[in-house]
Structure 1
């Protein structure tokens, strides 16, 4: 399921950013140029993350799963993002606690249907520490797609 939404042009590896705002601006600009999102995506993503944080603590680190609103999505996608250095995000289960996040899965779905199922799939995958570690170790987009495909196939 995840492999249906992650495309080579929605994979961002080893980005060097200082904070969440810089990261979101960079990704939103790129996704806009590629025709995935509409104007307003960045503002929505930032506002939503301010009010409903998406950071998750895992056994081997932390990830975040920010998501956009369907009205700002032209083509459905999941962006896989790895960072050179962690940035501070807030925990989903306690917004008063910060997490150092170096991997994100940004959801951009054009309808509400399937959103929960896709989110559950991602959470199930990232709870396997090896999946997160394998994504972090990838060197190119093809390797990311291969890790996703192999992990999902093993789940079936």
Structure 2
């Protein structure tokens, strides 16, 4: 379950950022502060995103799932941000197709064998347009967790 692993310090309602790099800087700094990731985490996120984009268009609703290699992670964790004014990420599997992202789920993966399972669990929640719309309107950290928890418990 995703919600069981959500730390309030890694949940960002209405995050105000100018671009995708700033999303990774702000969220990544919280992962480092919480001890989940090493100092190299933010730079590794930005570099990996440039090479392997994580933007996804879910029926016109943009999400992104930035993550990086296990070598930059101390302990596994998940962060969630709703973006006040959508920012552009490059769509997964393309070099130049942009997605206006409103929800970001950032991962700290400490076991490469669990990587795909974690992504599948997250996508199972985020493929629901009602969940995405509810998340994009959430203004409190607890509200974001509750929306995810309710979807997972369905």
Is the TM value for this pair above 0.5?
A: yes
Conserved? CA contact 1:64–1:104, under 8 Å: yes
Q: Secondary structure of 2:9's match?
A: helix
Q: Which string of whole-angstrom CA distances, capped at 9 and with x for unpartnered residues, describes residues 40-94 of structure 1?
A: 1011101110000011111141100111221211221111011110111100032
What residue is the counterpart of 2:46 in the other structure?
Answer: 46
Contact 1:7 1:145 in 2 (8 A): no
> What does 1:66-77 align with in structure 2 at a 5 Å threshold?
66-77=66-77
Secondary structure in 2 matching 1:96: coil
Q: Name structure 2 gaps, 5 residues minimum.
A: none
How many residue pairs match? The answer is 154
Aligned alpha-carbon RMSD (Å): 1.2
For residues 103 and 65 of structure 2, the distance between their equivalents in structure 1, rounded to whole angstroms, comes to 9
Which structure 1 residue ranges, 5 or more long, are not aligned?
A: none
1:12 aligned residue: 12
Which aligned runs of 4 or more in structure 1 are off by greater than 4 angstroms?
Answer: none
TM-score under structure 1 normalisation?
A: 0.93
Query: Do 1:60 and 1:129's aligned partners in 2 also have CA atoms closer than 8 Å?
Result: no
SS in 1 for 2:135: helix
Given that 2:52 and 2:93 are in contact with CA atoms closer than 8 Å, whether structure 1 keeps it comes out as no
